[in-house]
Amino acid sequence: MKKPSSKIRDEIAKLQEHLKLAETREAERIGRVALKAGLGEIEIDEVELQAAFEQLAKRFRAGNRADKGGTSGWKKSTGDSSGEASSEADASRAGPGSGGEA
């Protein structure tokens, strides 16, 4: 039997709310990690920061496809998910920037 369109709309509304909550949780998690890595203290253009995050995502996606090599081992061993984005920032946070790693 087919569902009435009103039930489908209700299900879509519920799923949209679940999606919104999931995206909020993910954004908060990523934000916390970024702040711990010192990204909140760096003045960087948003476009540049997004490009760095895209490179980071690409790196970890490639690592997840690999057979226990490369970036996936690095990711698990250090627990640091700042990746390539932090390599550009390392010079600017060399001394006092270690506050997020307690």
> Does residue 25 lie within any of the structural domains?
yes
| pLDDT of 73 | 42
- pLDDT in the model for residue 64: 79
pLDDT tens track for 49-77: 999 999 999 999 998 776 555 444 444 44
Domain that holds residue 7: 1-66
pLDDT for the residue numbered 20: 99
Within-domain flag for 44: yes
User: Residue type at 6?
Assistant: S
Confidence at residue 99, expressed as pLDDT on a 0 to 100 scale: 42
Kindly report the number of other CB atoms within 10 A of residue 28's CB atom: 10
How many of the other CB atoms lie within 10 Å of CB of 86?
19
Residue 6 lies in a domain: yes
Tally of domains in the chain: 1
Residues in the chain, pLDDT under 50: 70-102
Check if the beta carbon of residue 60 is closer than 8 Å to that of residue 30: no
